[in-house]
Amino acid sequence: MMHRPRVLVYRDHLLPLSETFVVNQTLGLESFDAFLVGSKPGPPPHIVLPQERLRLINSGGRRGLLREILFKFFGWIPKDILEWCRSLRPVLLHAHFGPDGSLAMPLARRLGVPLIVSYHGSDATVKDEYAWGSYVGHRLYRLRRKKLARTARAFVAPSRFVKRMAAARQGIPEEKIVVIPHGIDVERFRPGSQPEYGRILFVGRLVELKGLHHLIEAVSRIRESFPQARLVVVGDGPDRTFYQSLAERKLGGACAFLGAQPHHVVREEMQRAYVFSMPSISMPNGEAESFGMVFLEAQACGVPVAAYAVGGIPEVVVHGETGFLADEGNVGALSDFLKTFLENPDLRNAMGQAGRSWVERHFDRRRQNQELENLYRRVCREGGSR
């Protein structure tokens, strides 16, 4: 029986709960079999992965930590990891996030296979002057990124915005960067039976970047005219206490914080929502919303969007067709857009339907994975490692 060609996927932490896009690509391939290697598990709760398909350099204890240090600082690859990787006979190595690409270079070289690196967001957008105080892996990446730019055969960006940032701020040759947007399971995320009028949904980490404070203020401005309007917040983060206090002052009992929820609960909340809003903002360090999977998931559920035209969001939400995008920081316009949806249920429903069709046409997971597989084939045809 013929085996499908195999690819090795490197991610330093396997895998944080927020990185479903890595799982969708890795385990959703149809023409390749993917296997994973990384330093250690993602922070709990992490995504459960098939154990027969992965290996960890640091599996715990002092010895595991030493293995990780030697790998990251000196490119030393433990014998058992190297033998397992070689036994797979992979045709290429795909690393997710720029810093992980720099860590994966020695492994690709030892295996004699081409390296592909995906940039996903802050790894491309954060300015250098803010990066040196970050974690060790990022500092090592800054020292190695010129070599990475020369060594990797191709780079993948989920949006044109991330491509521009990777070229401008990371020095990646633009001709090496291929834009392949993330895809979602359009059969899993689909409209529910009946949205709840006035239910405004936010899904995201509770950090300044996601702009929840803007949304709380925007909702407070329409509450007098639309007492049915209420805000539902799904997610957790270091700023939760601040946001809960702000919402209590501004919205009283018209706001519910549900905390972090599993994906099936997020889907159910989206199917109940009348409007989806995550008015993400740009940060001084350059961080910005690079793509926005939650916008796709909401639109696939037939829910229109109100947000800011920031980063890669305009590539995911079509202003005036699948939602409304205000200028960044314009809370008044954001509030007016929420009001427009509440005043015009027919417009809300039409935009919801348009959003569903938009995602089906452009962001179906199977189609996007086929684009990635086409890139794999092209890189393999061009030969081995450099």
Q: Full-prediction pTM beyond 0.75?
A: yes
Give the lowest-confidence range in 117-126, 316-325, 326-335: 117-126
* Cβ-contact 290, 162 below 8 angstroms: yes
How, if at all, do strands 33-38 and 154-157 pair?
unpaired
pLDDT tens digits, one per residue of 131-157: 655 567 778 888 899 999 999 999 999
pLDDT given for residue 374 in this prediction: 96
Average pLDDT over residues 82-90: 97
Domain 6-183+364-381 and domain 199-362 have a common topology: yes
Is the CB of residue 298 less than 8 Å from the CB of residue 200?
no
Superfamily of domain 199-362: Glycogen Phosphorylase B; (3.40.50.2000)
Q: What is the pLDDT of residue 65?
A: 94
DSSP letter for 246, please: H
Neighbour tally for 134: CB within 10 Å: 15
What are the structure tokens assigned to 383, written together? 């030969």
**Tens of pLDDT, residues 200-229:** 999 999 999 999 999 999 999 999 999 999
Give the highest mean pLDDT range of 47-56, 57-66, 274-283: 274-283
Give the 3-state secondary structure of residue 179.
strand
Q: Evaluate whether 306 touches 231 at the Cβ level (below 8 Å).
A: no
Q: Which amino acid makes up residue 375?
A: L
The secondary structure element, H or E, covering residue 141 is helix 136-151
Domain 6-183+364-381: assigned CATH number: 3.40.50.2000
pLDDT the model gives residue 383: 65
Domain boundaries, the chain: 6-183+364-381, 199-362
Give 163's contacts (C-beta < 8 A, 6+ positions apart).
157, 174, 177, 179
Rounded to an integer, the average pLDDT of 339-350 is 97
| 7 vs 113: CA distance, rounded Å | 10
pLDDT of residue 134: 56
Rounded average pLDDT over 1-26? 86
Contact 138, 99 (CB under 8 A): yes
Q: For residue 306, give the H/E element and its range.
A: strand 305-308
What percentage of the chain reaches a pLDDT higher than 90?
81
Q: Identify the pLDDT of residue 49.
A: 85
Element (H, E) at 34: strand 33-38
pLDDT score at 131: 64
Range of weakest confidence among 119-123, 132-136, 192-196, 283-287 = 132-136
pLDDT at residue 2 in the model = 61
Separation CA 109–CA 114 (nearest Å)? 8
Q: Which of 153, 131, 130, 126 is nearest to 142 (CA)?
A: 131
Given this model, what pLDDT does residue 137 score? 74
Please report the pLDDT score of residue 386 as a whole number.
47
CA–CA separation, 342 and 325 (whole Å): 16
**What residues pair up with 114 in beta bridges, in sequence order?**
none
pLDDT in tens, 244-271: 999 999 999 999 999 989 889 999 999 9
| Tens digit of each residue's pLDDT (9 = 90 or more) over 175-189 | 999 999 999 999 999
Average pLDDT over residues 116-120: 97
Measure CA 296 to chain center. 11
d(CA 341, CA 66): 56
Contact 164, 133 (CB under 8 A): no
Determine which of 14-28, 195-209, 227-241, 338-352 has the lowest per-residue pLDDT on average: 14-28
Indicate the residue type of 381. R
As a whole number of angstroms, the distance between CA 33 and CA 9 comes to 10
CA nearest to 298, candidates 315, 322, 324, 319: 322
Does an H or E element contain 165, and which? helix 160-170
21: pLDDT confidence band, cut at 50, 70 and 90? confident
